[in-house]
Structure 1
Amino acid sequence: MDVRRSAAGVRQPWQSSHALLLIPIVLIVVITVVDQLVPADVHLGPLLVIAPAITASFAGAWLTGLVGFLAVAAQAYIGWHFGVLFTRNVLVQILALAVLSALTVFYCVMRERRQRQLAQVRMVAETAQHVLLWPLPERIGPMNIACLYLAAEAEAQIGGDLYAATPTDNGVRVMIGDVRGKGLSAVGEAALLIGAFREAAHHHTTLPDLAAALERSVARNLPNLGSDEDLGERFATVMLVEIPDDGHVTRVLSCGHPPPLLLSAGSAVTVPVHPAPPLGIHGPSPGEYTVDVFSFEPGDTLLLYTDGVIEARDTGGIFYPLADRAVRWAGSSPERLLHHIRRDLLDHVGGRLDDDAALIAFCRTPSALRGHRHGAGLHLGGLGHGTKPVPG
């Protein structure tokens, strides 16, 4: 399927170029014919330079060169028709047209070279994105998953926002975060944090221990990524989520990150969190972190996002109302939900974001955890590491 789509994408520009090629050819014919019909003191031959100039806007070097050759031939024919082919004026016109056509072809060659370079850069960026942000599977355990990444840099596929999810022995652990800065300058810090999470998520039994391990990794490696001048201003906000395979209780730990949204039928509730400082600013001990607990029922959708979403402004300076908009599509699949949010968000900002933005949507399938539903709504709890047990 993808191969056929790629082939169709190649054929369509080629066919379009051939259709548009009629415009400069017809233009050459019209100028040549009209030049023979107008009074002798009116010379339309110099207008033939328009033909290769138009062709360069939609075709490559070969077609542009062909049209340029036809334009030069038409200019020579006009001179031959009037018997002045070898006069100085006509020879200069032919030479000037040939030089301008050659310059236009040279421009096409350089443009195609830059397009190939840009395509190569985009391919490298997409490869780097897949290495850094592994594509999340469509399903992990009892949940359907979809993710969305919108980079602020026009030609970038990656930036300072990050996410990762990994299955563990007891469920799924998810991280979404935002390092200071945006675009390519923040990629190194995002890579550091994702690598640390993928390893530490399997070696620490509680979210506070995991957060402390990430803090140690950031504090140990962050100085190696940049100059000492801005070291105090480099940090990352992170939201850690633990979704067990059994039971309806879900745990979250925020390190300065915006709280998640819990979408149910006709409602969107912001999960209250007690955020700790962002990673890289102050490293509390595991006992100082607060884990917030809520009920994530079958049929509900949990939406994680970065501040690039909720801080996106329209032309009037109004922030994007994520909760108000997301509730419209609360019953949609994660993929459709993010599709609607992406379109609505870009419409809100006028087509381009000023900051990187990332979203992840998790939906418990209605068939999951049958017999474990204990009512709707949030069941909140604030508990530090190793404190009171979580209600089942």
Structure 2
Amino acid sequence: MVEKTSWGKGTQMITIDTIQQAATIIKGRVIRTPLVHSPTFSRMFGGEIYLKLENLQKTGAFKIRGATHKLLKHLKKIGSGGVVAASAGNHAQGVALAAKQAGIASTIVMPEWASISKQEATRGYGGKVVIAGQSVAESLSKAQELAGKGKTFVHPFDDADIIAGQGSIALEILEDLKHADIILVPIGGGGLISGIAVAAKTIRPDIKVIGVQAAVCPSAFESCRQGKVTKVESEALSIADGITVKQTGELTFKIIRKYVDEVVLVEEQHIAAAILMLLERKKVLAEGAGAVTLAALLSRTIVIPSGKKAVLLISGGNLDSPLLGRIIGKGLVTHGRIMRLRVHLSDTPGSLSRLLDQVAYLKANVLHIYHDRNVKDIPINISCVEIELETRSSAHIDHICGELQKAGYEMELK
């Protein structure tokens, strides 16, 4: 068995015992989320693939675990000013709900770019929202400033009590699947993977714990590569905003170095594809940060050996509806499920009907159509028709193009 090495700030310690104690404290106050086997993903990626569905948790993400543990453990120490936290979304909602359930006030500092839906959800859970900062780091500074005015600060990840609460996930996984071989975990600041790694490695030293991070903000990856906590600048906004953290915690990094086997990176297109695949194949709504574990398999960054049991942690499902719409639309186009084309037709009765008959014969479904007679630089007897079609695949699109061209249609893909 792995030695019970403890990590912590001051007198705080993190061991399997403290994680088990945290699980006892939060039992009945958080949801014991299901672990489900996916025959589809097992066939696609090899091994036996399981999903730990923290997107079904209260507030839609795992963060409620750590927040509930932190507040209940120190309830008597929290003054009348309540608690203050900083987050772009999930930690905000977790702290707000945990505080509401504990009967204390909460103030949540959110960066200016935090989505409106997550702001409103945080308010709905009883939190007072303060918008401040261009980054989570700047929001953290504001929260710490408020903590100096009589509020108790709750860090999103670099805190032993938060880590212990998140570690309860590993206990549930290994109760449900004793012989799991691999756990893939989203990683940002490191609180989630730290708790899971300590618990899992102590119970089963031979299990592999792998962190998955968005490539546009590779703070944990770079810290592991350089052997020290390393701050990075995000290359761009990520759809996995929940793990877009520019610097891991000091405490979490110590645990990651000790217990985590590997940290890998995934690109935005694979994260988007994973969101769409989870929705279509498993009817599971995952946010970007929650889908990175499947993205690692989609991109073949991680290959599961035949016969091995792998658990993908789906850490949250708080995905904004407008973003979900864009991801679905983009994904359908990318994977040949939507085709957009422009066709020039003779402006005579029946020409549009004949085109649509041809489309129907080719087994494509018309989603949208726009017929325009007033297009610059085309003859007056010609009309322009733009059509969006539902198709089966890229091969189906190629077949449609070939058949329409054979039929004499002048067309171009959009």
Range class of TM-score, shorter chain: under 0.3
Structure number with bigger Rg: 1
**What TM-score do you get using the length of structure 1 for normalisation?**
0.22
